[in-house]
Amino acid sequence: MEISLIGFAAVLVLVFLRLPIAYAMGLVGVVGFAAINHWNWKASLSPAAGTILDTVQTESLSVVPLFILMGMLVSKAGLANDLYKASNAFLGHRKGGLSMATIVACGGFSAICGSSLATAATMSKVAMPQMRAYGYSDSLATASIAAGGTLGILIPPSVILIIYGIMTEQSIDKLFLAGVIPGLIGVIFYLGAVRWTVFRNPAAGPAAERSNWSERLHAFKNVWGIVLLFVAILGGIYLGIYTTTEAAGIGAGGAFLIALLRRTLTWAGLLDALVSTIRTTATLFAVLIGAQIFQRFIVRAGMPEDLLAFVTGWDVSPMVVMMLILLVYIVLGCVFESLSMLLLTVPVFAPLVADLGLVTGDSLAATQELSLIWFGIVVVVVTEISLITPPVGLNVFVLRGVLGDVSTATIFKGVTPFWIADIFRLLLLVFVPWLVLIIPMTMKPIGL
């Protein structure tokens, strides 16, 4: 246990010294593994080299560049603007309706884009001018964009869920399906946060004009492609028609066709999408390799087993242990960005949660699988909270960078009802696990 704690401390120091998290975890993992093996560097470097080769050759990781490319092509197709117009047509006439439309549009865009930061940055350019034109307060307008953007890491396809699935050896198909209901609950709770805000201060979100049904249908026609793509991806996975890897190929191909049909994709735009996909994929692969090297060191040092023995020595219920784990995540979220927090903690907490027995199945293997799928969604929801809470709040700082005339304090003040809503959603998912598991438990196996 002691050497594991030293390893964690070393990673934290290196990260605070601005060494990229991928290199920090990889370096500490290699040195720590060598220390455990009496400074046998061959015994340490050989597994690290194997990890690199195994990662780049893992077939399941091919979904990463494909889903990223899909998101890039969707952005190039200009669908964010049409999604906002469609949402606005149905919700804009209500008090706070433009903020509600922003959240719904963020949910739809993030379902294809898969990136919280990209969703927040894109929707700020689309929605902010409209909300300002109708006299919305900057705090509510920016908060709805920042909070809506967090949905990108939960509503499938989600890169973070892919990384979690690889780290815990769980089905990415089931993780994607498990994120559907929590994602929808997140949208509903965020709409409730908007209603609460305008109830307390009606001037913060005045109503806009009501659209007639002709205008609504016209607006909806412009987003049929993204709706069809989302249904095709998740529906095919749920019905067992194809795997996540095949769904990623269909998604990337479908996004390319949609961009061509809309005549919004230029050669320069296609080249930019491909180059951005390569850069993002390379960064994620480097992070994942570093995390797996560090994870091997943690497991070899025996930290998961020691932590389980330590926790089971307490005279407390498993739910209390889970609450303490969530508290750790909330505290870490105040100082760490989401991916770093996930990579550092999952190797330690996932084995512990698998053995707590909070979710039960018809066998030990089924119990552990369901527990880890449920825990993956819970972790992502906690990570969402970290994206809008001070002092880090990456989505907040993305908006601050895009909207230079809005202060950070204004945005943080506006997002308070939203992260409170997230806390309620988190507790709901913790105490009612079937909300997470009901869809993946009923999915059909591939080929049946």
Which tokens hold the place of 318? 């498993």
Residue 190 has pLDDT above 90, yes or no: yes
160 falls within a domain = yes
d(CA 23, CA 289): 9
b/e per residue, 346-384, with b = 16+ CB within 10 A?
bbbbbbbbbbbebbeeeeeeebbbbbbbbbbbbbbbbbb
Cα 61 → chain centroid: 17
What span, in angstroms and rounded, lies between the C-alpha atoms of 45 and 53?
Answer: 13
| Residue-level pLDDT at 335 | 65
Q: What is the chain's mean pLDDT, rounded?
A: 83
Q: Quick check: is 379 in a domain?
A: yes
- As for how many domains the chain has, the answer is 1
**In angstroms, rounded to a whole number, what is the distance separating the alpha carbons of residues 191 and 188?**
5
Tell me the C-alpha to C-alpha distance, in Å, between residue 74 and each of 279, 280, 342: 17, 16, 27
Q: What percent of the chain has pLDDT over 90?
A: 14
Residue numbers of the domain that contains 40:
2-442
SS3 letters for 367-395? HHHHHHHHHHHHHHHHHHHHCCCCCCCHH
In a domain, 89, yes or no: yes
Residue 290 lies in a domain: yes
Domain assignment present for 448: no
Band (189; pLDDT cuts 50, 70, 90)? very high
DSSP string, 241-252: SS-HHHHHHHHH
- Report yes or no on 348 lying in a domain: yes
Stated pTM of the model: 0.84
CB neighbours of 226 closer than 8 A, spacing ≥ 6? 74, 79, 83, 108, 109, 111, 112, 258
**pLDDT single digits (tens) 313-369:** 677 788 888 888 888 888 777 666 677 778 878 888 888 888 887 887 777 778 888
Q: Return the residue matching tokens 């993305």.
A: 398
Q: Is residue 229 part of a domain?
A: yes
Are 386 and 415 in contact, with CB atoms under 8 Å apart? no
- pLDDT tens digit sequence for 104-148: 888 877 766 666 777 777 778 888 888 888 889 989 999 998 888
CB 71 within 8 A of CB 118: yes
Angle, helix 63-76 to helix 116-133, in steps of 10 degrees: 20
Residue 447 lies in a domain: no
